[in-house]
Amino acid sequence: MNRTARLILALAIAVLSASPARAQVLLSDNPAAVLGAGLEEHRGAAVPEGLTFTDAQGQPVEFSSFFDGKRPVVLVLGYYDCPLLCPWVFSSLQGSFNTLAWQVGKEYRVVAVSIDPTNTPEQAAEQQRKSLSGLRRGEAPGGWEFLLSDDVNAARLAEAVGFKYAYLPDTDEYVHPGVVIVLSPTGVVSQYLQVSPLPEKQLRLSLMDAADGKIGSLIDKFIFSCHVYDPDAGSYVFHARTLMNAAGVLTAVAIFATVGALLLSERRRRRRAAAKDSTRFTDPTEEPPAGLSAAVK
């Protein structure tokens, strides 16, 4: 297999991975199926405990340390000397993150894990430098980590999230899908995103969904409440019923507020009138009404 054929194969797998059901059908006639590469969605699955990797500084790190119960995590599986697909994924992600009003490491974190055990800390550090240097809003400390792994830990993580890859010994390359996985703040698979690049709206809604709507502004949360994930479309779509329900609630609140304001205004008016009458009858300098004066005599 020459280099051109390998590049075409890698791009084909990236496109096919956009829809797992469609990919399973088409990959049956594709060499990648024989290699076992592709995507199998495991939404709701938890990442394994006890996974240990090495960071770009050569220090060991527990994968569980990236889940703080607050911020979702974007997981990127690939390798740092990939000839085509991975550089494209990292570049596309960088552009997608720049479209968000959020900062990497603040509202969400990103973790890249190499599936190639021969990758070095120097390669991880170089890829980290390239990716972070293009972020317009910068990065909060520990916002985008680049990790190295042995065969066992990378394989366990990839299997848990349904990311299937295969090694090509003749070319010393890997074949794998071009997707990223959004994990919840507790390490549960929430969403799969095709890197093409990612539309800002879909990326934002995916992160909010993974965080159970606990990140973003009030406007973001309202928009999130009006969308649902459509597995057939493979994206978040507008949910008219949710908007109608919200509009109904707001209308009811407005009506009650208006009625309450009118009642309060009327009560205040009556109190002022009663106070005025009371002051007029008790004022010694004021002549009593004619009828009352005659009765007194």
Each residue's pLDDT tens digit, 139-151: 999 999 999 999 8
Residues facing residue 38 across a β-bridge:
164
Higher-pLDDT residue of 250 and 78 is: 78
**Which spans in 58-173 are helix H?**
85-99, 121-133, 151-161
| Distance (Å, whole) CA 203 – CA 220 | 12
The mean per-residue pLDDT over the stretch 15-41 comes to 53
The pTM for the full model equals 0.67
| Distance (Å, whole) CA 75 – CA 61 | 15
- Single out the residue of 42, 109, 119 nearest to residue 76, CA to CA: 109
The mean per-residue pLDDT over the stretch 76-88 comes to 95
| Distance (Å, whole) CA 178 – CA 182 | 14
DSSP state of 64: G
The three-class DSSP label of residue 195 is coil
Provide the pLDDT confidence category of residue 36 given band limits of 50, 70 and 90.
confident
The mean per-residue pLDDT over the stretch 287-295 comes to 53
What pLDDT shows up at residue 182?
Answer: 96
Contact indicator for 55, 199 with CB cutoff of 8 Å: no
% pLDDT > 70, the chain = 64
Provide the pLDDT confidence category of residue 110 given band limits of 50, 70 and 90.
very high
Rg (CA), the chain: 31
Contact indicator for 186, 78 with CB cutoff of 8 Å: no
pLDDT surpassing 60 at residue 109: yes
